[in-house]
Amino acid sequence: MLNKKSELKKFLYIYIVLISITTFSQEREVDSLPKNIEDYVFVQPGDTLTIQLNEFSIYPKQKFSSKEDIAYYLWFRKKVIKVYPYAKLASERLDTLNNRLTKIKSKSKRSKYIKLIQGYLEGEFTDQIKKMTKTEGRILIKLIHRQTGKTAYNNIKGLRSGWKAFWYNTTANLFKLSLKEEYLPESVNEDFLIEDILQRAFQDGVLNRQVDKLNFDYPKIIAERKAEINVEKYKKMFSKQRKKNAKKRKN
């Protein structure tokens, strides 16, 4: 027993010395980590020391055309950060609903349970959705597709008519948006911006990650786009709005 403790102490001492030497020699030599290795295992006769490495991703630095573009990106980022928790909540509630419904055989009991969940969802969403801007409403519809794997339209078409009316009245009619909007970060620029914001927010701990239910490879997408941030759509939108406001002031 004493020999084992002595060997472990000796091993730890050697390990600390090696780490120190590596740290001081980093300017001359940089080693890359082995691929597909989740654990580093150091072995001495009779003893094993395991260090668990948490998974993380490193994304390329975003490329902006101007400082003005950064301002538009930050404006859009604020909206995505605001809306994501509601899409996450919707996914959690719908998962609970669907899992519970598989265990309820009676049609009348199923109907009562759907009505109960509908009431919770309406209470949680109504006021927040009505306060959202058109851009935020569009982001919400897209993120519901991301988090649930179904468009908002497909999520509600099988539920009660009252639930359908709620969504149409508070989203589609309010914002004049389509509930059939899909989330396509690989081909739609706005969706790419949303995904870029989400991935960096997850990494920074700004948002709590909820696994999405769509099959897309974000590292591949951002590599193909060369991390270029395009916010021309929003620049045009604000330019148009400024012109309208200017006309109103003149009148």
Instruction: Tell me, yes or no, whether 118 and 28 share the same domain.
Output: no
**2 within some domain:** no
Instruction: Tell me, yes or no, whether 46 and 71 share the same domain.
Output: no
Q: What does the pLDDT read at residue 234? A: 94
**247 within some domain:** no
Q: What does the pLDDT read at residue 38? A: 41
Residue 44's domain comprises: 7-52
**243 within some domain:** no
Report the alpha-carbon distance of residue 44 to residue 48 in Å, rounded: 6
Q: What does the pLDDT read at residue 93? A: 82
Instruction: Tell me, yes or no, whether 154 and 103 share the same domain.
Output: yes
Instruction: Tell me, yes or no, whether 94 and 180 share the same domain.
Output: yes
- One DSSP character per residue, 29-62 reads --PPPPTT--EEEEEETTEEEEEEPPP---PPPP
**What separation in angstroms does the CA of 142 have from each of 152, 194, 207?**
8, 9, 17
Instruction: Tell me, yes or no, whether 41 and 159 share the same domain.
Output: no
* Closest listed residue to residue 83, CA positions, set 201, 166, 174: 201
**60 within some domain:** no
Give me the helix-helix angle, 107-130 and 67-101, nearest 10°.
Answer: 160
Residue range 156-200, pLDDT digits in tens = 776 655 555 556 656 655 567 788 899 999 999 999 999 999 999
**71 within some domain:** yes
Q: What does the pLDDT read at residue 247? A: 84
**111 within some domain:** yes
What the block records as the tokens of 55 is: 């998974």
Give the number of domains in the chain: 2
Instruction: Tell me, yes or no, whether 33 and 72 share the same domain.
Output: no
Q: What does the pLDDT read at residue 78? A: 95
Residue range 208-220, pLDDT digits in tens = 999 999 988 999 9
Residue range 98-133, pLDDT digits in tens = 888 888 888 888 888 877 777 777 777 777 777 888
Q: What does the pLDDT read at residue 36? A: 42
Instruction: Tell me, yes or no, whether 18 and 129 share the same domain.
Output: no
Sign of the dihedral through C-alpha 127, 128, 134, 138: negative
**241 within some domain:** no
Instruction: Tell me, yes or no, whether 226 and 133 share the same domain.
Output: yes
Instruction: Tell me, yes or no, whether 93 and 45 share the same domain.
Output: no
Among 7-11, 25-29, 81-85, which is the least confidently predicted range?
A: 25-29
Q: What does the pLDDT read at residue 23? A: 39
Instruction: Tell me, yes or no, whether 192 and 134 share the same domain.
Output: yes
Instruction: Tell me, yes or no, whether 81 and 108 share the same domain.
Output: yes
- Mean of all residue pLDDT scores within the chain: 76
Mean of the pLDDT values across residues 38-44?
A: 41
Q: What percent of the chain has pLDDT over 90?
A: 37
Helices (H), 33-160: 67-101, 107-130, 134-148, 152-156
- Phi-psi category of residue 54: left, alpha or beta, with phi > 0 → left and psi -120 to 50 → alpha: beta
Instruction: Tell me, yes or no, whether 219 and 157 share the same domain.
Output: yes
For the cut 60, the answer to whether the pLDDT of residue 9 exceeds it is no
Amino acid at 49: L
Q: Are 151 and 180 in contact (CB under 8 A)?
A: yes
Neighbours of 242 (CB within 10 A): 10
**189 within some domain:** yes
Where residue 55 falls among pLDDT bands split at 50, 70, 90?
low
